[in-house]
Amino acid sequence: MLNLTPRSSLIDKITKINVSRLKPLQNITLGAQIVGDKGRVFESHAHFIADKDGEVDVCRDPSLGGSYSGVSPMGLLWSMKPATGERKGIRLMNSDVTKPYNILLNCFDDHVTPSKSSLKPLSSVSFQKWYMAEGVKRIPVREGRIRGTLFIPPGDGPFPGKKDVQTVINSKNSAFRFCQKKNTVSQQNSFCQLSFDIVAISFAYN
């Protein structure tokens, strides 16, 4: 019933989601769920109506409600929010780019809110989304006061370079941390990427 192509791909590539063997014009809900770092759960859902052949194509058909509306092939991913019961404001983070996100996709009969429904899914399937492409070299950098990670795409090169720095401010201890951003999909486009992780401490004056 649920057909996904491909089952494993990079995070910025479209996974085609199709539902078949439905009744003509049947109402269905697709629900997606990810268990992130520290066991925190994120979820989304979207409402669709099958065509006259009993099929839904998420790349073609608009979501009529739920976590997003309109046509968006990867709407079930970008619209994810913390699940019911999770702390508000938490973000979905992947602390280990060598491991994929494992996403559970469920298909429910009718237009429902999965987290508030006791219905069993008509069909379920899982798929993976990766940040790091196959064959990419991940090299920790420890040179002087520089801390970071170098990602080198497969092949002989030469490759264009890219620096990646993210800033997080910790007001509690006045620490300014430049964290390694985990988005490494640039290697698929033959970029050599250096992600920085630099810590600088500023002391408050009385």
Query: For residues 26 and 147, is the Cβ–Cβ distance under 8 A?
Result: no
Pick the CATH number of 2-130 from 3.30.465.10, 2.60.40.2240, 3.40.50.970, 1.10.1060.10: 2.60.40.2240
What band does 47 get if pLDDT is binned at 50, 70 and 90? very high
Quick one: pLDDT at residue 1? 94
Dump pLDDT digits (tens) for 141-180: 888 877 788 888 887 878 887 766 655 444 443 333 333 4
For the chain, the domains span 2-130, 137-201
Cα(128)–Cα(15) distance, rounded to whole angstroms?
Answer: 9
The residues with which 200 forms a beta bridge, in sequence order, are 176
What band does 189 get if pLDDT is binned at 50, 70 and 90? low
